[in-house]
Amino acid sequence: MLQQETAQRNTEGTAETTGQVRLENLSKRFDGTIAVNNLKLEIGKGTFTCLLGPSGCGKTTTLRMISGFVEPTAGDILISGESQEGVPPHRRNTSIVFQEYALFPHMTVRQNVGYGLKVHRTPKDELRQRVDRILEFMGLTAMSERLPTSLSGGQQQRVALARALVMEPEVLLMDEPLSNLDAKLRVRVRTELKAIQRRLGITTIYVTHDQEEALAMSDRIAVMDEGILQQYGSPWELYFNPQNRFVADFIGANSFVRARIENVTDTTLLLSVGNQSIELQREAVAATVRTAGEEASLSLRPESIGIQRAEGGNGTADSARSLRGKVNMHQFLGAYIRYWVEVEGQELIVDDHNPRQRGILSGDVDLRLGQSEAQLFPAEE
């Protein structure tokens, strides 16, 4: 009942090894345009997986192929080991919540929630019991006789979710369901949504272009661009160990600095940035290039860069782990100050999370680079 409501499943942080949804070489073309290109993905049972990427990356097309509303050009979709080829949407054990909640305005909350069961000719007693149970579970009992137009955006979202969950699907599909809510409500509703998913233990595939939303809610994230899967892993893996520059740039704020590898030892990497040099611990830097003489792109998170007033008057950074720069602009954001600092004609974003100690900085500054968050990618990326 209610997708094993009493199951004590905890999926946070890791995915089960059993793949409940498998996408095998899935592709879709529209009039010669490739929307999804040879996508291979295995989604663990009971996990919350986000399909994340910019507009036009193929994430919604992928979701609609899983639901059956879009026919693949090639490849297959397996749910619990069963191919979905030729299976229409109403025969698949999935439920979908759209960006527009698509609630029937002339129906009450109760009628909206029970509509799918009615279409499937569920016996009246069972229909009433299941609707009552999901209304109580979702905190909607008190508003069961109200029309959607009298509900807030967050309440409408819960009705749409209740309508999907009452069908007791194997897989819940969600297409940017929070995009119509204001920022503060989105944070509250996404927290509720994740708690409901964990309590039910239902396999959920969630489409979003909002990286913060994906990081906050997901067990696993599939980052897509131009129909191609760029990386699939936990939020931690994608943030701290991106496999390429696109993922590093798309997940969180980042700065990319042109650099040249001058020397490589067993323990260090010596890089030149314009006329300055920086030494990093080799094992602490995730790198796809480590050959002396190569041009590289040094990737740095704003929170991994320390900032302080420049020391000395020689115009160069004093420390082997520091670069000298000049503040171009700053924004006070309450808990931290964000700086845009020019270094050798390139701009770095730096977050100072202890502004009370230093106040607002201007002019020349020294930037001390954190070790573990640094990444090196080929310059041609």
Most confident of 7-11, 93-97, 345-349: 345-349
Bridge partners of 261, per DSSP, are 271
Same domain, 44 and 99: yes
Residue 8 is assigned to a structural domain of this protein: no
The pLDDT > 90 percentage for the chain reads 61
Q: What is the CATH number of the domain that holds 109?
A: 3.40.50.300
Partners of 369 in beta bridges: 305
Query: Do 214 and 141 have their domain in common?
Result: yes
Q: Is residue 219 part of a domain?
A: yes
With left for phi above 0 and alpha for psi between -120 and 50, is residue 295 left, alpha or beta? beta
Last residue within a domain, chosen from 243, 262, 280:
243
Distance (Å) of CA 210 to CA 50, 52, 192, 221, 375: 10, 7, 17, 12, 23
Question: Would the pLDDT of 321 be above 50?
Answer: yes
Q: Rounded mean pLDDT of the chain? A: 87
Is residue 7, in this structure, part of any structural domain at all? Answer: no
DSSP 210: -
1 found inside a domain: no
Q: Is residue 147 part of a domain?
A: yes
Arithmetic mean of pLDDT, 94-109 = 89
Q: Is residue 9 part of a domain?
A: no
Task: For residue 373, give its domain range.
Answer: 253-378
pLDDT digits (tens, 9 = 90+) for 247-286: 999 998 899 999 999 998 888 889 999 999 988 887 767 7
281 falls within a domain: yes
Confidence of residue 8 (pLDDT cuts 50, 70, 90): very low
Asked if 178 and 296 sit in the same domain, the reply is no
pLDDT at 15: 38
Q: Is 50 exceeded by the pLDDT of residue 150?
A: yes
pLDDT band at 17 (very low <50, low <70, confident <90, very high): very low
pLDDT exceeds cutoff 90 at 369: no
Q: What's residue 18's pLDDT?
A: 61
The answer on 272 and 237 residing in a single domain is no
Provide the pLDDT confidence category of residue 14 given band limits of 50, 70 and 90.
Answer: very low
- Name every residue whose Cβ is closer than 8 Å to that of residue 324 and which is 6 or more positions away in sequence: 276, 310, 315, 316, 317, 343, 364, 365, 366, 367
At 289, the pLDDT band (50, 70, 90 cuts) reads low
221 and 309 together in one domain = no
Overall number of domains in the chain: 2
231 shares a domain with 211 = yes
Residues 140 and 166 reside in one and the same domain: yes
The CA distance from 216 to 196, in Å, is 14
Domain C-terminal end among 212, 243, 274: 243
CATH code at position 372: 2.40.50.100
pLDDT at 381 exceeding the cut of 70 = no
Residue 52 lies in a domain: yes
Of 243, 268, 294, the residue that ends a domain is 243
